[in-house]
Structure 1
C-alpha cells in the first residue's frame, strides 16, 4: 500500500480552524472523538507547523504524538530541540516524496493553516478528511487562504458524528 499524505482537521461551519487568538476551545463543546481514534491508527507519521506545535505543547503536559514519527516545519529548525520531533525546513513536496518512499502507514498533515497552505501550494496533500463542526465563529483562522491554484477533489465518503459531519475527499 502506498503511503498517502492526509489532511485530517476540524473546521467551523464558516471554515475556521481556530479563533483569531489561535484558541480551539470551541471544539470542547462537542462530545466524542468524532472518529479521531480510528483515524490515528491509520498513520505512523505526524506533520505539524511550528505554531501548531507550540500550541500543542501549551495544551498538553505530555507530547501527544510520542508513539508516531513527528516532524515540525519551521523556518528556523536550529532554534528548537525536542526529543519527540524532528524540525524541518524544506519544501513540502520534496520532503513528503522522500517519506512516501519509506515503508509505513499514512502521513497526517495535522495543521495549522500556514502548513496546510504550504502543502496545498505544492500539491502535497493526497486526501482531505475535514470534520465540519456546527458552529459559526464569524472570524478566526481560515483553513484555506492565499491559494492561487485550483484543486479538484472527489468525494470518497461522509460520516456523521452527532451534530458534526466528516467529509472525506481524494484528489480528482
Structure 2
C-alpha cells in the first residue's frame, strides 16, 4: 500500500507563500481567531514523516520555533545541497524531491507531509505524487513574492473534496483524480 502524500500550505489570494524576502508575516493578516481550528492537529495525527527544503527548515528552527523543533515526533527529511549531520529523526538529503517521495511512498508508515517552497512542490505536482492538497487562502493580496507553484508541465487535474471558511480563511481540500 502506498502512503498518502499531503501538501498542507497557506498562500495569499494571489498565490504567494512568502513575501519577496522570504518573510511570512502576511500569514497573520486578516485573520480573526474566533473559531477553533483543528486542521493542523488533524494533519499531525495522520502523518509520521515531514519533507521540506532547507530554506523552510532554517525558517522553522531559526524564526518560527527556535526553542523546540515542532516535528520531533515525526521523521524529517530536509532536501538540501548543503547537508548537516543527521540525527535520529532529522535526515539531510540531496535526493531530488520526486526520487525521495517515490522511495518514502513505498516504505511502511503513515502519511507524508510536504512542507515548503515551490522548488520542492513543483516537481511533485508535475509527477502527480501529491495525493491531497490542503490549501489555506489568507485574505491578503501581496502583489509579488514567492509563488506557491513554479512553472511545470501541466495540467494536473484535481477533484475538490471540501471547502470551508474559518477565521476569515478559506480552506480547500483537493485530491488527485
Q: TM-score, normalised by structure 2?
A: 0.87
Of 115, 130, 135, the residue aligned with 1:130 is: 135
Of 76, 80, 84, the residue aligned with 1:74 is: 80
Distance in 2, Cα, partners of 1:34 & 1:140: 28
Distance in 1, Cα, partners of 2:37 & 2:93: 29
Q: Output aligned runs, 1:1-172, within 5 Å.
A: 2-29=2-29, 30=31, 31=33, 33=37, 35-59=39-63, 60-61=65-66, 62-77=68-83, 80-83=84-87, 84-172=89-177
Q: CA deviation at 1:47?
A: 0.5
Q: In the comparison of the two structures, how many residue pairs are matched? A: 170
Q: Secondary structure at the match of 2:73?
A: coil
Q: TM-score, normalised by structure 1?
A: 0.90
Output the aligned Cα RMSD: 1.8
Distance in 1, Cα, partners of 2:141 & 2:51: 27
Distance in 1, Cα, partners of 2:56 & 2:118: 9
CA deviation map 1:60-112 (0-9, x unaligned): 122111110000111233xx125341012223333222212222211000112
Distance in 1, Cα, partners of 2:153 & 2:105: 26
Q: Secondary structure at the match of 1:158?
A: strand
Q: CA deviation at 1:50?
A: 1.0
Where in structure 2 are there 5+ consecutive unaligned residues? none
Q: Contact between 1:46 and 1:68, CA under 8 Å: does it hold in 2? A: yes
